[in-house]
Structure 1
Amino acid sequence: MITTSFLRVLQAVAFLASLWSLSSYGASLSESSSVLSAGEKWRKILKEARGQSVYFNAWGGDQQVNDYIRWTAKQVRQRYDIELKQVKVSNTADVVSRILAEKQAGRDSDGTVDMIWINGENFRSMKNHGLLFGPFSEQLPNYRWIDTREKPTTILDFGEPVEGLEAPWGMAQLVFIYDQESVQAPPKSAADLLKFARKHPGRVTYPMPPDFVGTTFLKQLLLELAQQNPALFQPVGPDSFDKITAPLWRYLDELHPLLWREGETFVQNNLALTPLLDDGEILLSMSFNPSYASSAIANGELAESVRTYVHSDGTVGNTHFLAIPYNARAKAAAQVVINFLVSPEAQLHKADPDVWGDPTVLSMGKLAELDKRHFSELPLGIATLSPEALGITLPEPHGSWSTALEAEWQKRYRQ
C-alpha cells in the first residue's frame, strides 16, 4: 500500500526542490534586475521575444504531435510575432550530444537549439553537464496552474529534482485495461493481482523488459512491495538493490507459473497485449497512455466493453518537459512559447483526443471555473479515465533503477 507518510515524503521533497529553485531564481533576479517586478520582467521578455525564431527540437514520429506543434506555431506567430520551427528528431540523446559538443567547442551563445522536448536521463545529462538555461520555469506566468501537489513528477523527473530548469508539458501514467464482460472486479493492487492470477491461471501476463511498459510494471510492483523505500529515489547501489528488490523477486517467482504460457514466454511490447485481450487469451492488459484503450476501441481493435483502471494507491507516471539550452539564441522567445504551451488554453487543446490526447499537467483545483468546465467536457473516449479518476501519480524511481531491474530480470527469468 502506498502510505500517507510516503506521499508526505514525496511532497516534502518536491516542496524543498521548489524552494531551492525559487530561491535561486530570486537571487539571480536581484542581482540582474532588482528594480523590476515580476510583471515588468515578463513584459521585458515579451518585448525581446518579438521577431525571434525558436528552433524546437522535438520527436517527430507522431503526426498528431507534429500537427499540434504546427498549431502552436500559428498561435505564437499571431500573438507574439514569434516563428516556431520544429526540428524533427528521432533520438533526443543525439540533440543532447550536439549541445554538449557545442559547449566543448566554446560555442556558449548562438546555439543551434532554442527549445528541447525532454525528460529522464536526457534531462539529467543536460543538468549534470551545465547545458540548461535557468532556473526559469517558476517565473512563467502560467506556471501557477501547474499541479505540483498531486503530480510530484512535475518537479521530480525520474527522481531528479527539476529545480526550475525545465517546464512540465504533459503526463503519462500506467493504466490497466480489462473487458467488463469478462472481469467484474479488476485487481487494484499488487497483492490483488497475485490473487487474481491464482483464480485465473494462464490469463495474465506483462511485456518483457526492457520494453518500457514491461519495466514500468516492474517499478509499479517494486513501489508497492518495497514499502516505498526512499532509497528508490536515489542512485541505485549494490547493497540497496539486493535488499530492496528481494520482495519483488519473491513475488515474481510466485506469479510467473500462473502467467500466460506459465511465464515461459512474454510478449515483446504492450501493443502485443491488445490482440490477446481481444481474443480472450488474457484478461488484463496495460499501457502507459491513459487514452490508449479508447483509441483501440475506436480503431476496432478492442470491444466497446473494454475499460481502464488504476491501482487504488496510484500508479507510476512521469512528466515530459520543455527546456532551453544554456546557449540558445532565442531564450526570450523560447520562454514565451513555453509559457503559452502550459496555458489552460493550450493544455486543453492538447488534451483533446482528436488533437493529441496528452494528459494535462495542470491542477483542476487551481483553474478558473470556466477552464475547469472545459476540461470536464472534453470527449475523453469511452475507456479513458478523467484526471480525477487517474488518482495519484507515483514518481518514477531514480533512472538507474530501470537498468538494474532489467538486467536482474533477464538474469533470473531469461537464462
Structure 2
Amino acid sequence: MKHLLIAALAFSFGTPALADWQQTLDEARGQTVFWNAWGGDERTNAFIAWVSEQTEAQYGVKVEQVKLSNTAEAVTRVISEKAAGRDQDGSIDMIWINGPNFLAMKEQGLLHGPFVADLPNAQYLDLGPTSAASIDFTVPVEGMESPWRLAKFVFTYDSARVSVVPRTMADFVSWAADHPGGFTHPAPSNFMGATFLKQALIELAPDASVLQQPVSDAAYGVTTAPLWEWYDALRPNMWRDGKTFPENESIQQQMLNDGAVDISMSLDPASTAAAIAQGLLPETARVFVPEDGSIGNISFVAIPYNAAHAAGAEVVANFLIAPETQAHMQNIDVLGSFSVLDPSKLDAPALATFAALPASDALPTLESLGPTLLEPHASWMTRLTEDWARRYTK
C-alpha cells in the first residue's frame, strides 16, 4: 500500500496548481493538525491514526485526533474564540462536519476557504453544482469543506431470529405490533435518532420537496402531521414502551447482539460486516433499507477561519481524497466506508484496486442500497428534534 500511496501522491503533483500546492506543502511540513472528529467508532479512530502515520511519512504533517461526542462542541469552541478576538492560532485545525454545524459555521463566517478546488486530488471528485460533493444538507458547499467518506442510512437485523423486515417506514407500525419490544432508536438528540425521524418524514410527508427549503411555520405543521401520527402508533410497541432510548448506535448495536431488540441502525452500510468480523454481531446479521431508498450524504472536513495549521489541514484533506486512500478506507478490513470519488474520473489501475477489495455476505453493494434520498434542509432537523423532545420527553 505504501508504494501505491507514493505513486498517487507523485501523480497528484502533475496539475496546473503545482507551484501553489508546493508552497502549501512547504508551509505544512512540521505542522500538527488537530482534527476534531467524532470519536465514537474505534475503526474510524484507527483509520485517522493511520492517516497520521501516512501524512507524517510523506509530508511531515502529523494528525492529532480530538475526539468529540458531538460536533457542536467544536463549533461552539470556534464561536467562543471569535468572540474573544482569537482570529489567528485557533485551537482547531480541521473538523469532521455536516449539515446544521456546517451551515452555522458558514453563516457566521467561521470557515477557511474556499480551498477544495486547490487540492490536487480534487480532480477525482465530481464538483458539479448539484453533485453530492457540492451540496451539504441542501446548502451549497462552495469549496468551504472537502468530502472524505460516503454515508447511507441502513438497518441491521439478525436473519436467524427475524425472517420478515419492514419494507417501508410506514410498515414499522405493523411490524412493531407483531414484534412488541423488538424495536427502538437512539434518542433524537443523537444524529442517528434524528436521521431515523428524517427518514420517516421523507416517506410520510405529503410533499417531500418542501424539505429542500428552510423550514417555515406554515410548512412544518402540514408536513410533519403524518409523521407524528405514525410515531404515536409506533411508540406503544417499542422497547420499553418508547419511553427510554439508547444513547447512540453503538449501544443499540449491542442491544441487537444481546437479543434485547431485533433491529439496529447505522449511517455506515459496512458497519454490520465490520461488527461481525469483530465479534460484535452474530454472523447471521444482515442489512436492509426501505424499498424506496434511504437518506445518504457525504461526510466532509472543514477548516476553521482561524486555524493555526491551515496548510497542514489542506494537505490532510487532499490525502483523504487520494484514490489509494479511498480504496484503503473502503476495505472492509479497515473501515468499509464507500468512496466519495467519481469512478468515471479514475484510471484503470485505480478501478482495479477498488474491484479487488474483500467482500462479505453482510456487506451490501451500492446497487442493493437502492436510491439515495436527499437530506432535508438542516433547519428541519433542528425543528424536528426539538419538537420530538417536547412531545415525548417529560
TM > 0.5 fold call: yes
Deviation, 1:200, is 4.1
Q: Distance in 1 between matches of 2:159 and 2:335?
A: 26
Alignment of 1:6-405 (within 5 A): 39-50=15-26, 52=28, 53-59=31-37, 61=39, 63-79=42-58, 81-86=59-64, 88-90=66-68, 92-104=71-83, 108-109=87-88, 111-146=90-125, 153-227=132-206, 229-263=208-242, 265-274=244-253, 276-278=255-257, 280=259, 282-328=261-307, 330-405=309-384
Q: Distance in 1 between matches of 2:116 and 2:377?
A: 22
Q: Distance in 2 between matches of 1:402 and 1:76?
A: 35
Deviation, 1:221, is 0.3
Which piece of structure 1 moves more, 349-358 or 38-47? 38-47
* TM-score scaled by length of structure 1: 0.78
Deviation, 1:358, is 3.1
Matching residue's letter, 2:66:
K
CA contact (8 A) 2:157 2:285 kept: yes
User: Closer, same or farther in 2 for the Cα pair 1:97/1:185, shift >3 Å?
Assistant: closer
CA contact (8 A) 1:208 1:267 kept: yes
Q: Distance in 2 between matches of 1:87 and 1:258?
A: 40
**What are the Cα deviations for residues 68-115 of structure 1, in whole angstroms up to 9, with x where unaligned?**
334333433444x44234252436445444444554555555555443
CA contact (8 A) 1:51 1:82 kept: no
Deviation, 1:355, is 2.8
Matching residue's letter, 1:379:
P
CA contact (8 A) 1:50 1:333 kept: no
- 3-state DSSP of counterpart to 1:50: helix
Q: Distance in 2 between matches of 1:331 and 1:203?
A: 47
**What are the Cα deviations for residues 92-148 of structure 1, in whole angstroms up to 9, with x where unaligned?**
445444444554555555555443332233322221121222222134332233356
Deviation, 1:220, is 0.4
User: Closer, same or farther in 2 for the Cα pair 1:69/1:280, shift >3 Å?
Assistant: closer
Q: Distance in 2 between matches of 1:328 and 1:281?
A: 45
Q: CA RMSD in A?
A: 3.2
User: Closer, same or farther in 2 for the Cα pair 1:65/1:272, shift >3 Å?
Assistant: closer
Q: Distance in 1 between matches of 2:340 and 2:53?
A: 22
Matching residue's letter, 2:380:
W
Deviation, 1:363, is 3.1
- 3-state DSSP of counterpart to 1:191: coil
Matching residue's letter, 2:19:
R
**What are the Cα deviations for residues 196-227 of structure 1, in whole angstroms up to 9, with x where unaligned?**
33544544333343343222111100011114
Q: Which runs of 4+ in 1 moved over 6 A?
A: none
Q: Distance in 1 between matches of 2:195 and 2:244?
A: 18
Deviation, 1:311, is 1.8
Deviation, 1:352, is 2.4
User: Closer, same or farther in 2 for the Cα pair 1:331/1:254, shift >3 Å?
Assistant: closer
* Long gaps (5+) in structure 1: 1-37
Q: What residue number does 1:5 align with?
A: none
Matching residue's letter, 1:56:
F
CA contact (8 A) 2:150 2:339 kept: yes
Deviation, 1:319, is 2.4
Matching residue's letter, 1:310:
V
Instruction: Give the percent of matched residue pairs that are identical in Structure 1 and Structure 2.
Output: 42
CA contact (8 A) 1:167 1:338 kept: yes
CA contact (8 A) 2:103 2:378 kept: no
Q: Distance in 1 between matches of 2:241 and 2:367?
A: 36
User: Closer, same or farther in 2 for the Cα pair 1:391/1:84, shift >3 Å?
Assistant: farther
**Count of aligned pairs between the two proteins:** 376
CA contact (8 A) 2:138 2:377 kept: yes
* Long gaps (5+) in structure 2: 1-13
CA contact (8 A) 2:33 2:312 kept: no
- 3-state DSSP of counterpart to 2:297: strand
- 3-state DSSP of counterpart to 1:410: helix
